[in-house]
Structure 1
Amino acid sequence: MWSGCSVTCDVGLKKKTRTCTNLKPDRTGDNCVGKSTEYTVCLNEPCGARNGGWSSWGSWQSCSVTCGGGLKLRNRTCTNPTTTLYGKTCDGNSEAYAVCAKTACE
């Protein structure tokens, strides 16, 4: 069974060991063949990587029309926290729209 990774970020090593006890050689028998320890690389998120987070939604902007039906918009930014190098940017949209209705146009 592989051990845990030697580091929590960046590149590290995992180790697997085995013993020569199944069956253990007697005085006239041969020892086990091969190495008792094996290593492999483990890849983690880069150290110092920070994923981005969304800010709160801003206020709704005014309706796109002065009469009839239109749209209004609000925004948010991926700055809470800001994404660092190797970090993941925010999932989803930075803009949201909603229908707005004004008085009927004449």
Structure 2
Amino acid sequence: MQTLQNFPKHFFEAINAMTRHRKAITFTLDTLVIDAIQKVAESHGDSTSRHIEKVLFDYCKSQKAIEPSESRLGENRGGDRRKKPKDSTTKSDA
């Protein structure tokens, strides 16, 4: 009979990854902070939510609140969601 202790560690990591998901939550923040986060996120090509998640994940990991073996959830929306630079050239109607 196989006990849970006999299962390889990567088995439990895979199960954990399957149960993790993103959840909407609301925070009340200073508007100065909100504007700054949006600006920094845009400069990194991230959505505000994605950037906050990355920063907080790394912080929690550095504080040992998240196991060192854990990794961030991947992008699950598909496609490139980063804003494209605006084209400065214009076409004439000639």
- Common topology (TM > 0.5): no
State the TM-score, normalized to the length of structure 2: 0.28
State the TM-score, normalized to the length of structure 1: 0.26
Structure label with greater radius of gyration: 1
